[in-house]
Amino acid sequence: MRRRLPLAAVTACALAGGCGGSDGPPPAPVRLDVTAPSDSAVVRAATVELRGTVRPASAVVTVRGERATVSGEGTFHASVRLAAGSNVIDVMASAGDARPALTAIRVRRRVSVEVPDLVGVLAADVKDRLAGTGLKAKVDDQDGIFERILPGDPVVCATDPSAGEEVDPGTTVRVLVSRRC
């Protein structure tokens, strides 16, 4: 036979914080806010300074598993190394029995290469000159049948993209070559 608790006993348990002898209300959850850099930020530097606030100020903050510096006012910061391309930075804050806070931001490290000035360089040397920059070459010989019988070696007349432009590593540079530019 099943015994039922009187309604007054159920109400008393609910008002007391539940049956089982709780020592008071649960602690407030940890609050975490990353203030810099913004989510989806694009940077060129190899590192970024991550900053934010945490409540309670006594919380422990970890960034990518490494403990961050937290001041007495609840501000934190950590220097984070970035790989080229997209990076996900996990941030977690915990304080005793309080429910921890976890967030992640994305930061894209943009790495670019400047197209070198190749005008006047021998066509045979172009690929070697671009190899050290991380760029690829597509050599486009502009000589017709008559120019090909002229003496001398073809040289670079122009490039696309042109010299000085910033491009992503691995970009193919179209190199226009001729014996007469």
Q: How would you classify the pairing of strands 166-167 and 113-114?
A: antiparallel
Spell out the CATH class of 28-109: mainly beta
pLDDT at site 150: 79
The pTM is what?
A: 0.60
* Range list for CATH 3.30.10.20 in the chain: 113-178
**CA–CA distance, 113 with 135 (Å, rounded to integer):** 8
- What are the residues facing 148 on neighbouring strands? none
* Range list for CATH 2.60.40.10 in the chain: 28-109
**What would the pLDDT profile of 4-62 be if each residue is shown by its tens digit?**
544 444 444 444 444 554 567 888 999 999 999 999 999 999 999 999 999 999 999 99
Q: Coil, helix or strand for 171?
A: coil
Please say whether the dihedral angle defined by the alpha carbons of residues 82, 88, 170 and 165, taken in this order, is positive or negative: negative
The CATH number fitting domain 113-178, selected from 3.30.10.20, 3.90.245.10, 3.30.110.70, 3.90.660.10: 3.30.10.20
